Amino acid sequence: MHSSTDMAMSWSLLLPFALALVASASHAAIVEHTFNVGNLSISQLCQPDRIITAVNGQLPGPTIRASEGDTVVVHLVNESPYGMTIHWHGIFQRGSQWADGPAMVTQCPVQTGGNYTYSFNVTGQEGTLWWHAHFSFLRATVYGALIILPRGGAKAYPFTKPDKEEIVMFGEWWNANVFDLQQMALLTGIPAGPADAYTINGKPGDLYNCSAPNQTHMFEVRKNETYLLRIINAALNTPLFFKVANHTFTVVAADACYTTPYKTNVVVVGPGQTVDALMVADATVGRYYMAASPYDSGIPSGPAFSKTVATAVLEYAGGANTTSPPALPQLPEFNDTDTAHRFLSNLTALVLPGKPTMPLAVDTRMFVTVGMGVADCQPEQTLCNRSRTMFASSMNNASFVPPRSTSMLEAHYSNATAGVYTRDFPDQPPILFDYTADASNNATMQYTTKSTKVRTLRYNETVEMVLQNTRLIAKESHPMHLHGFNFFVLAQGFGNYNQTTAAPQFNLVNPQERNTVLVPTGGWAVIRFIADNPGIWYMHCHFEAHLDLGLGMVFEVQDGPTPDTSLPAPPKDLPQC
């Protein structure tokens, strides 16, 4: 392992090679970066220095800024001791399916000392997205923002042009090595413990028992100016409430899709989700806390979570008393599902000419349970106590395991799927039952088995999926993320889904469009998307702990009729296993 001085030197040598070409107003540009992934020595929470995995020695990693229509090229150079892949969360990857990133789904990890160039366009997308490692728990420290401006710049926003923009990116910090945590969770079948802190732009803030001056992110504002906050939840396992004392928000976008302006004093953001909100600095000149606190949706109780609050400080220029403590917002209770649901269910799309509209005809209907369960210890789980079963999670009672020898996209492309995956992911659970009743939470219903199943879709078919949370082990609000597409959220509610009562509530006019939906705890959500992007697309819970336990499935979308609608050949430098 390198010493920290060696690393500091190699970073200073490599950083100048990271270049970003700025888009000209009228032409699509190439936005190019080099991501050197390696060890970074850092002290958080006044603990001794820790070695973490980070991009270009930064936490969070570098921000990518592009304009709609640009091509983003990122050279990933893996100098870390672990395998590495990067997922460009929310990017459609049309024509660049091999750049999506999830380990063993679209690519083998880049080995230590290896490199891979991700290249994709950001056509037809604008707003706040992000990127993160998609291997082990490494996204805990390998993540950053990906901002796509409109082609015409900020003046082309469909809302008041802000005076300034700020990235507000939440994370979760462990004092322990997160790769080791994941390995131990896998070997034992016991999920890793809660984070030691939540962070805002990499810093926990000063409500933790540590007063280092560099642990709090500062935002400076000017009286009466309007700020566009690009809020991103990069935390591994925790949805968060976000408030700023004495300030309110107008939400204008979520998951890089514009929304009807929505006024609120609290933002709710699940892992994987983003929210763009305007905030006017209209309070008395002073200092205010921006605070992120956990939303715990577990009923009767979910996994342990850190009952702490991350803060940053909003400080007005010109005259704020810097010795008086900032005002703290009144935060919702950790289990305030009413507040979470009010925010999440009230967002609607801003319907704009030329933007995708809701498909009204449906080709394939799926009813999919999402939730927890148990499974037998697997052979590779050498520390698993074989006298008991271990936690598992599943969709339609199939608990997903990624293949080991080759990626699913390579198997799909070369038509060599035998031994890699099977095409039998079911359209409904094997048993129809009272999904949310306490009485259903018995050993028989909890039991699930491991498999690698896909649902094959014809090119261009419209899929409607009901996501139904269960009471097995615990009800929880799972952030379900779909790769390769946005989907429309037609309706959501609590209890068991009932088509007769739900269908009249469907929003067929301006449903919110997202890439990640927080399915209400003990409830359901209905989504629709058009499978017009051939390839292999992961759909999974964005709680890293649940992903590891199998809460995922994969869509295999067949080629369309033309070369343009078909999966291209893999790039020459695609990493091999």
Ligand X SMILES: *[C@@H]1O[C@H](CO)[C@@H](O)[C@H](O)[C@H]1NC(C)=O
What is the binding site for ligand X (CB under 6 A)?
Answer: 42-44, 77, 94-96, 115, 121, 123-124, 212, 214-215, 223-224, 246, 283-284, 286, 321, 323-324, 327, 333, 335, 341-342, 345-346, 415, 433-434, 439-440, 442, 444-445, 460, 498, 500-501, 560, 565
Which is nearer to ligand X, 355 or 386 (by Cβ)? 355
| Neighbour order of strands in the sheet with 398-400 | 449-451, 398-400, 390-395, 364-375, 462-469, 523-530, 487-494, 512-514
How far apart are the C-alpha atoms of 257 and 274, rounded to whole Å?
Answer: 10
Q: How far apart are alpha carbons 513 and 488 in whole angstroms?
A: 4
Residue with smaller CB distance to ligand X, 77 or 474: 77
Nearest to 24 by CA among 62, 67, 64, 63: 67
Check: CB of residue 158 under 8 Å from CB of residue 127.
Answer: no
Beta carbon nearer to ligand X, 215 or 469: 215
Residue 480 C-beta: closest distance to ligand X, Å: 20
CB of 432 to ligand X, least distance (A): 9
Smallest distance from ligand X to CB 75, Å = 7
Type of residue found at 96: S
DSSP letters spanning 169-197: EEEEE-SS-HHHHHHHHHHHS------SE
Closer of 433 and 506 to ligand X (Cβ): 433
C-beta of 261 vs 286, nearer to ligand X: 286
Distance in angstroms (rounded) separating the CA atoms of residues 400 and 394: 7
DSSP 559: P
Give whichever of 180 and 333 is closer to ligand X, judged by the CB atom. 333
Sheet of 240-244: strand order equals 217-221, 310-316, 287-294, 240-244, 267-269
Shortest distance (Å) from residue 152 CB to ligand X: 18
The answer to whether 221 and 231 have CB atoms below 8 angstroms apart is: no
Evaluate whether 74 touches 86 at the Cβ level (below 8 Å). yes
| Position closest to ligand X via CB | 95
Q: Which is nearer to ligand X, 160 or 284 (CB)?
A: 284
Q: Is the peptide bond before 379 cis (omega within 30 degrees of 0)?
A: no
Q: Are 526 and 488 in contact (CB under 8 A)?
A: no
Look-up of token digits 């009204």: 360
Cβ closest to ligand X, residue 329 vs residue 552: 329
- The 3 state secondary structure assigned to 32-48 is EEEEEEEEEEECCCCCC
Nearer to ligand X, 215 or 384 (CB): 215
CA distances from 482 to 228, 376, 406 (A): 26, 28, 21
